[in-house]
Amino acid sequence: MDNIAGQRSGLSIATHIATALLVLLWIIPTLGLFITSFRDQDAISQTGWWRALQGAPQPFVLSVPVEDQVEVDGGTWVLETNIFEGETAAGLPPSVVDRGRVAAFGISRLRGADTDPGETLETRQGVAITLAADGALLASSPEPLEGALALPVMLVAPPQMTLENYTEVLTDTDAEERAALLERGTTLDRLLFSDEALFGPFVNTMTVAIPATIIPIVIAAFAAYALAWMEFPGRGFLIAMVVGLLVVPLQLAFVPITIIHEWFGIGKSFLGIWLAHTGFGLPLAVYLLRNYMVGLPRDIIECAKVDGATDFEIFRKIVLPLSFPALASFAIFQFLWTWNDLLVASVFLPSDTESTVMTRFVVTSLLGSRGGEWHILAAAAFVMIAVPLLVFFTMQRYLVRGLLAGSVK
């Protein structure tokens, strides 16, 4: 058995590594866009998100004025200044001036910034130059300095995380526009509900998803009880029908239901999409709930019957409370599906801006007109997936249980 035990431990290290790689591969795409959604618009195009935390050193050539030099000890000219202040700073981006530090510096343009901050370099003219990480510059020269010192440097600005992208996408105004509009008397909720803002679609998505989750549960629970615990002719056929309908492509229903909705006067509306989601969600709901209810202990239900309980009472007081896990798992499925859906929404909701949902808004408005603006797209993506992710991480247990009830016996 020795060799097997030996193999095990070698294999187990390999397992750890392989799993870590797999997990990394799976979360990197999401992580990338998530980090991006908090980054400054300029930073996104300058450096990759994977360098967002360290901040990328950027090369600059500084031109340091020498007017402030003083003569000390007769014959030595000394310049003490800070490159992040005064005239030198004028040529640098504000983010670097505010939070930047020196990553490297040099004295020759040809060799570039090749020396660590804090060290001292001497030019051919005998000028000793020290540049500290915080930008403090000390130059001492045997001759008076003339013109300006030209120093190649690498400067790092630490990353700044911002919520601005989210505000921008929810209100469709950048910081300046928003300030100007608010000053002119626009209220915040007028911004939130403007045509191009994401907040309206967020509310609409919620309006679609919640009724479309609750209504099918109620309908399905009764049917599932009957299919699980009541004897009647045609039961087997109905169960087979539900199983068959599980895989019917939604596309098949689009034209007929559109015509039927027109005919009933529902047309394209929220009522229409609630009904459509209810119909499309029912096969899975009935299937999951029936599978679960069939597994409930027969004794309890028969005892209740003997004690004179009606089916309605058994359903309401025994079966429904005991089926909570199955109800929860279907609710999660249906909520995720209706929240994330693009297809059904494009068919059954009107195409005006007041009733668009987030997925549709992203595909038609954002990807079309602002396809290159990743600060907007990233924030929009995470507004869109925040709620499903929250549901997923808090209710994962039920989701897994539901999946298993549907596929593994």
Provide the pairing of β-strand 128-131 with 148-156: unpaired
Among 240, 295, 298, 317, binds another protein (CB under 8 A): 240
Among 6, 13, 26, 161, binds another protein (CB under 8 A): 26
In the complex, the smallest distance separating the C-beta of residue 175 from another protein, rounded to whole angstroms, is 23
What amino acid occupies position 352? D
Among 6, 13, 42, 48, binds another protein (CB under 8 A): 48
User: Which region among 12-20, 92-100, 131-139, 155-163 touches another protein (by CB under 8 A)?
Assistant: 12-20
Q: How many CA atoms lie within 13 A of 341 on its CB side?
A: 28
Q: Pick between residue 84 and residue 330 the one whose CB is nearest to another protein.
A: 330
In the complex, the smallest distance separating the C-beta of residue 292 from another protein, rounded to whole angstroms, is 15
Separation of alpha carbons 359 and 291, rounded Å? 32
In the complex, the smallest distance separating the C-beta of residue 126 from another protein, rounded to whole angstroms, is 41
Would you count residue 341 as binding another protein (CB under 8 A)? Answer: yes
Would you count residue 13 as binding another protein (CB under 8 A)? Answer: no
- Binding residues among 356-395 for another protein as defined by CB under 8 A: 359, 362-363, 367, 374, 377-378, 380-381, 384-385, 388-389, 391-393
In the complex, the smallest distance separating the C-beta of residue 143 from another protein, rounded to whole angstroms, is 43
3-state secondary structure of 7: helix
Q: How many residues bind another protein (CB under 8 A)?
A: 117
Would you count residue 324 as binding another protein (CB under 8 A)? Answer: no
Would you count residue 155 as binding another protein (CB under 8 A)? Answer: no
Would you count residue 179 as binding another protein (CB under 8 A)? Answer: no
What amino acid occupies position 256? P
Kindly state the tokens that stand for 218: 């109620």
User: Which region among 45-53, 62-70, 89-97, 126-134 touches another protein (by CB under 8 A)?
Assistant: 45-53
- Binding residues among 254-293 for another protein as defined by CB under 8 A: 254-257, 259-260, 270-271, 274-276, 278-280, 282-283, 286
DSSP letter string over 36-74? HTTS-HHHHHHS-GGGTTT--EEEEEEEEE-TT-EEETT
In the complex, the smallest distance separating the C-beta of residue 54 from another protein, rounded to whole angstroms, is 14
Would you count residue 120 as binding another protein (CB under 8 A)? Answer: no
Among 113, 151, 154, 242, binds another protein (CB under 8 A): 242
In the complex, the smallest distance separating the C-beta of residue 42 from another protein, rounded to whole angstroms, is 12
Closest CA to 110 of 66, 61, 145: 61
Closest CA to 322 of 342, 298, 343: 298
β partners of residue 121:
129
Would you count residue 75 as binding another protein (CB under 8 A)? Answer: no
86: left (phi over 0), alpha (psi -120 to 50) or beta: left
Q: Pick between residue 23 and residue 180 the one whose CB is nearest to another protein.
A: 23
E-state strands within 29-187? 57-65, 70-72, 76-82, 101-105, 120-122, 128-131, 136-141, 148-156
Among 81, 171, 204, 329, binds another protein (CB under 8 A): 204
Closest CA to 257 of 283, 241, 275: 275
178: left (phi over 0), alpha (psi -120 to 50) or beta: alpha
